[in-house]
Amino acid sequence: MDYLKIVHLSKEPFSNSPDPEFFFQSSQHVACLQKLELSIRLRRGLNVVIGDIGTGKTTLCRQIIRRFAQQDETETHLILDPKFSNQSEFLNTIAEMFGLEKAEKDSDEWQIKERIKNYLFQKGVDDEKKTILIIDEGQKIPVFCLEILREFLNYETNEYKLLQIVIFAQREFEQTLKEHANFADRMNVCLFLGPLNFRESRLMIKFRLDKASMGNRTSVKFSYPALWAIYKAADGYPRKIINLCHQIILTLIIQNRFRVSWALVRSCVKRVSGEQSRRWHWAVAISITCMVTTALILGIVSGHFKNLIPWETADSSKIVKGSLHVTTVEETPASLQIAATQLAPAPLESDENMNDALTEVIEPLPSEKTPALLKQTQKLPRVLGQIKAKDGETVLEMIHKVYGVPDVNRLDKILSSMALLNPRIKYLDGISVGDEINFPALPIYKSLPSRGCWIQLIEEDILEKAYRFMRVYRDSEFPVRMLPYWNNREGLRFAVIIKAIFIDKESAEVSLKKLPAIISSGAKIVTKWDDDTVFFSNIPIE
């Protein structure tokens, strides 16, 4: 599209098609994706995502397909429009999607169901594959289809469901669930999507423009009142924001401009809606109020009265956020010092049965076993420790912080072991604030390079202490990784290191000097680990 080059864009930034490249990772969308992925990997069965029109359900649907489509151990199937006329049509559609031969004319519905059941058993048990059925526009599902899906959920082993179902639907599907309790009772998770807040709306616009720009950053600039006007006109709904911004970009091209003002947004809204609304008078008043308030606050903070503003609540421990968040919480530098002095969690109760159940997972491969390793394995801990969940945290997020980003096979082992270690938590993909999550000690046997060194920020003897640091540290410039390890001399330790290996001590010292003083004061350079050290997450080696 050559006309986009006028505003220095290489592609359409506000297309109304669900392009995975332009997926904006808002807190609620990321949390939803993580819960769905975890539920599918645990083979929990039925999952439902409900949201208003234009909240990003179809985009999430494409993201789920994208995550699982290229994995050999999963088969993903999609129904875009589930408005079937009768049961036979629905069953034949499912059978064809699964690659089954077309049923004969005299075949009854029971025979088709049996063929589908046999297929799911073969894939799920014999081939050890996960079969995923994703249904978009779920509010169109007829009642007879719900009953068939309920029957599909009865196909299971003693350990898991054979068919994983994810339904994306609009709000009216809530009434359908209320009217069919026997189907709703099968749900593992029911997630809700709402509009974005102003900050996320602003970041989504910037993200899409940067993605579509010809260079690293776009030349198109939105004024703050313009962004606020877009947010108010669209009510935070992503689709409305995208459609309005598309009109704004076209206007910029026609007028050969790069800056988006409040007046330009207002004219585009009038053109899109075809009417003048009183809402704009409110938008003007609110925008002016926000600018004046911001100016006053900045003036106070920079003046002599900044010490009079209370920045902490009287009892912050009682505040629970209303929405899901998966990004790290921004805290003051003093929080790093406070975290190091807080009390450690209560010791984990020993459970011999759990330890025995984990033995098979923890032991190295037969080809790796040596007398030294066999002797060492007997001393290794079975559990790393426990972490008390906070508002908005998910198990998948915790796994990434404790173990790094594991591959599919290791992630399955981690999830299986965590299910054994946490029998009191019914659903790992639906933890509550205050739940104490136990983490298994799964060794990684990997040779370290002969040369190189690492920057260690902190080291703790308790998992939750190290995890508190991960919560408050913002790693935009220096990504970090938790490194749980064990050796005979120190026992079980938890280091937090910069996620990189440095070729020599001099280059590590250069990076160490760039760290903020609050962090670098306790940091050190590690050039060698004990020979018998066993790591429980991947240490950077390249």
Which residue from 166, 162, 142 is spatially nearest to 154, judged by alpha carbons? 162
CATH number for the region 27-193 comes to: 3.40.50.300
Q: Quote the pLDDT of residue 198.
A: 92
Q: For the whole model, what pTM was predicted?
A: 0.62
Query: Buried (b) or exposed (e) across 464-502, using 16+ Cβ within 10 A?
Result: bbbbbbbebbeeeebebbbbbbbbeeeebbbbbbbbbbb
Tokens of 190: 């029911």
**Running along the chain, 542 residues long, what does each successive block of 10 average in pLDDT?**
74 86 90 92 94 92 88 90 92 91 74 92 91 94 94 92 95 94 92 93 92 78 90 93 92 86 90 57 54 52 38 34 34 35 34 41 43 59 93 85 82 87 77 90 83 90 92 72 92 92 88 80 88 88 66
Q: Quote the pLDDT of residue 274.
A: 60
Which residue from 21, 14, 36, 18 is spatially nearest to 324, judged by alpha carbons? 36
* CA 438 to chain centroid: 20
Pairing mode, strands 259-260 and 163-169 = unpaired
Q: Quote the pLDDT of residue 216.
A: 63
CB 190 within 8 A of CB 429: no
Q: How far apart are CA 295 and CA 302, in angstroms?
A: 11
Question: Could you give the residue range(s) of every CATH 3.40.50.300 domain in the chain?
Answer: 27-193
Angle 238-255/224-234 helices, nearest 10 degrees? 130
The continuous run of DSSP H or E covering 496 comes out as strand 491-498
Q: Quote the pLDDT of residue 448.
A: 80
Q: How far apart are CA 55 and CA 201, in angstroms?
A: 12
Which residue from 409, 420, 452, 14 is spatially nearest to 210, judged by alpha carbons? 14
Q: Quote the pLDDT of residue 311.
A: 32
Identify residue 173 by its one-letter amino acid code: F
Query: Buried (b) or exposed (e) across 300-339, using 16+ Cβ within 10 A?
Result: eeeeeeeeeeeeeeeeeeeeeeeebbbeeeeeeeebbeeb
Q: Quote the pLDDT of residue 71.
A: 82
Cβ-count burial of 97 within 10 angstroms (0-12 exposed, 13-18 middle, 19+ buried)? Answer: middle
